[in-house]
Amino acid sequence: MRRACLAVLLALAAATSSAGELRPFTTDSLAAIRQQFAGRPFILTLWSLTCHHCAKELQTLGKLASSERNLPLVIVSTDTSDDARELRAALKRHGLDRLDTWVFADAVPERLRYAIDPSWRGELPRSYLFDVAHRREAHSGLLNEAQLKGWLNRQRAGG
Amino acid sequence: MRWSIRLASALAIASLPLSATAQQHAGHAAGPDDAEVRRQRAWDERVAIASPLSVGAALDARGHLWLARVENRHLRVSHSADGGRSFSDPVAVTPQPEAVTADAENRPKIAVGADGSVHVSWTQSLGKPMSAYIRYARSTDGGRTFSPPAILNDDRQMISHRFDALAVEGRGRVAVVWLDARSRSGKTVNKSPQTDVGLYAAVSEDGGENFGKNRRVADHSCQCCRTGLTWTSAGPIAFWRHVFGRNIRDFAIADLNGGPVLRVTDDEWEIDGCPHHGGGIAADGRGNLHIAWFTNGKKRKGIFYRRVAQTDFSKSAAPLDMSVPLALGEPARQAGHPAVAASGDRVLLTWREFDGQRFSAWAMLSQDAGQSWDAPQKIAEAAQQADFTLPLLDARQALVVWNTAAEGLRVLPVAEAQP
């Protein structure tokens, strides 16, 4: 049973090692993400399995991802690697498992929160909309599809 | 067994992408500040936690300290007669290992009656995210043995029953409140989907042997902030983050003897989200209430204290007599998670700050029921992860219990000016 379980996990991990890998988010990860999106706008969304509203946020993002090709979206869970299985299941349920997904990886998660934004107090979901110049707009709570689409269209229109 | 498989799976998932990276790096000597090494270490630490930092603590009538903590999926209780220098051997409250929730806003609760009976409540996490039961056990032999754990939520649905708070009267009555999602599956479903959790209560009139039927105290609470419960001479008063109007997440109190929901903060925090950050309540010797809370509202942001003057909370229709909210701590250091204890006319407020690297524990005392306050004191720092601060107060001592990863469980006395 245990061996079978591990074999399946190994296969899964091998199949998804390039795309859809849940990457450990550390204090230097935001800098790496910004580098990855240099000169491009992107959306950073933080969520948790323990957050009542976050399932709805994932649902919105899933719908957006299915209608927008190459959606510049980065999804970061504030849970831990202990929750990897549930995190993957939740992301997959909303069609988000092939996107750029991360999970907090620090024995002091507050350090990660602080590194992202000292004025963020941990409320979820939390989103940052980074424009072309990476000026960011912070938002606490749910964003709806119209808000996100509007923002994306404004970015594409160059402003 | 199920757990070991789950843990093994988590380890497998966690280590796979990283071990590949580690191999790539094996060719060169990794410096201590190598990002990949740090990342790996942090990841391993998170996976390995078997003893969560979130604990419960209480003083008994003799001034002895009682502690409830989770170790290897068991809830264990120990006590100290010497101010926390030494503790008794821990006694397991859970006969079988179970998923006792112990993370930040959720922690085991412990309270000791005047007769020496020891009461514990906790949230048992079930098989899917956010689903849980409210559990309770007691000891009538000074903490040597505990009754088999009871499930207090009488609906037994696999839904969210979490964020329990516990209070004992001292003469046999025991009360537990929690946030309960059962109204979501019933007929009271509200139009706005984010307000379908309510506050429920179970009260025992016989020292915790039997509990009456669950009672719904309020509909439309916020979903994932800790609740508070305190006993006044008139009865138990609950404190929680409520949802006012469509979506204003400010605080409320209610007398469990059928009293109305009374709004006690007006910060106007409107958010379609989870604050994960509640508050605390304590009643002083004259029945005044002392509350401390976090908000990120339109009117104020940060942590605050206010006093609610004694009145008949079970029918109070008149406006409450409340002090102006007093800001606590340093907002730039993310002052948060305040808690309050009261004894006679003394009130002890504690909170935690974080400067980006290190946590610190803070305390502030009042000798006159919250009308004036000593200067805030920084009582300790922690090098690594740290729990919230737990204030404990009786006629002889003012203590803060602070569990920290690097320094261990600390019982910190608060310096007190002699009256």
- The span from the CA of B368 to the CA of B347, in Å, is 8
Mutation for A interface: B4, B46, B403, most A CBs within 10 A: B46
Q: Which residue of A has its CA nearest to B303?
A: A121
φ, ψ of residue B361 to 5 degrees: the values are: -110, 135
Q: Which residue of B has its CA nearest to A79?
A: B46
For residue A80, the chain B residues in CB contact (below 8 A) are 46-47
| Angle in degrees, 0-180, between the axes of helices A145-156 and A54-67, rounded to the nearest 10 | 40
Q: Which value, to the nearest 10 degrees, does the dihedral of the CA atoms of residues A154, A55, B278, B73 take? A: -140
Q: Is the pLDDT of residue B47 over 70?
A: no
Q: Average pLDDT for residues B378-399, to the nearest whole number?
A: 97
pLDDT at B187: 44
CA distance A123 to chain B (A): 4
Q: Which residue of A has its CA nearest to B334?
A: A121
For residue A92, the chain B residues in CB contact (below 8 A) are none
- The span from the CA of B37 to the CA of B23, in Å, is 11
CA distance A95 to chain B (A): 19
User: What is the per-residue pLDDT across A64-78, written as a single tens digit (0 to 9) for each?
Assistant: 999 998 899 999 999
Report CB contact under 8 Å: B12, A9.
Answer: yes
Report CB contact under 8 Å: B273, A107.
Answer: no
φ, ψ of residue B149 to 5 degrees: the values are: -60, 135
Which domains, ranges and CATH numbers included, belong to chain A?
19-156 (3.40.30.10)
pLDDT at B50: 72
Report CB contact under 8 Å: A81, B5.
Answer: no
| Nearest Cβ partner for B16 among A1, A13, A85 | A13
CA distance A63 to chain B (A): 19
- The span from the CA of B252 to the CA of B197, in Å, is 14
Under 8 Å CB-to-CB from B343, ≥6 apart: which residues? B284, B285, B393, B394, B395
Identify the residue whose tokens are 């001034």: B63
Residue A125: cis peptide before it, omega within 30 degrees of 0: yes
pLDDT at B189: 43
User: What is the per-residue pLDDT across A35-47, written as a single tens digit (0 to 9) for each?
Assistant: 999 999 999 999 9
Q: Average pLDDT for residues B58-72, to the nearest whole number?
A: 97
Helices H, strands E: what count in chain A?
Answer: 6, 6
Q: Which residue of B has its CA nearest to A5?
A: B9
Under 8 Å CB-to-CB from B342, ≥6 apart: which residues? B282, B283, B284, B285, B290, B348, B369, B393
Q: Which residue of A has its CA nearest to B33?
A: A28
pLDDT at B37: 53
User: What is the per-residue pLDDT across A101-157, written as a single tens digit (0 to 9) for each?
Assistant: 999 999 999 999 999 999 999 999 999 999 999 999 999 999 999 999 999 999 998
| Nearest Cβ partner for A50 among B224, B271, B359 | B224
CA distance B35 to chain A (A): 8
pLDDT at B128: 74
Angle at B34 between CA B28 and CA B38, to 5 degrees: 125
Report CB contact under 8 Å: A115, B356.
Answer: yes
pLDDT at B419: 56
pLDDT at B417: 76
pLDDT band with cut points at 50, 70 and 90 for residue B14: very low
Query: Which of A141-150, B96-105, B310-319 comes out lowest in average pLDDT?
Result: B310-319
pLDDT band with cut points at 50, 70 and 90 for residue B388: very high
Q: Is the pLDDT of residue B188 over 50?
A: no
List residues bridging with A54 in a β-sheet. Answer: none
- The span from the CA of A129 to the CA of B177, in Å, is 39
pLDDT at B252: 98
What is the percent of chain B where pLDDT is above 90? 78
Under 8 Å CB-to-CB from A110, ≥6 apart: which residues? A122, B334, B354, B359
ipTM: 0.83
Q: Average pLDDT for residues B58-67, to the nearest whole number?
A: 98
CA distance B25 to chain A (A): 17
For residue B296, the chain A residues in CB contact (below 8 A) are 121, 123, 140
pLDDT at B394: 97
- The span from the CA of B11 to the CA of A5, in Å, is 12
- The span from the CA of A154 to the CA of A148, in Å, is 10
| Angle in degrees, 0-180, between the axes of helices B2-25 and A2-15, rounded to the nearest 10 | 40
Identify the residue whose tokens are 């060719």: B27
For residue A49, the chain B residues in CB contact (below 8 A) are 129-130
pLDDT at A19: 55
CA distance B299 to chain A (A): 16
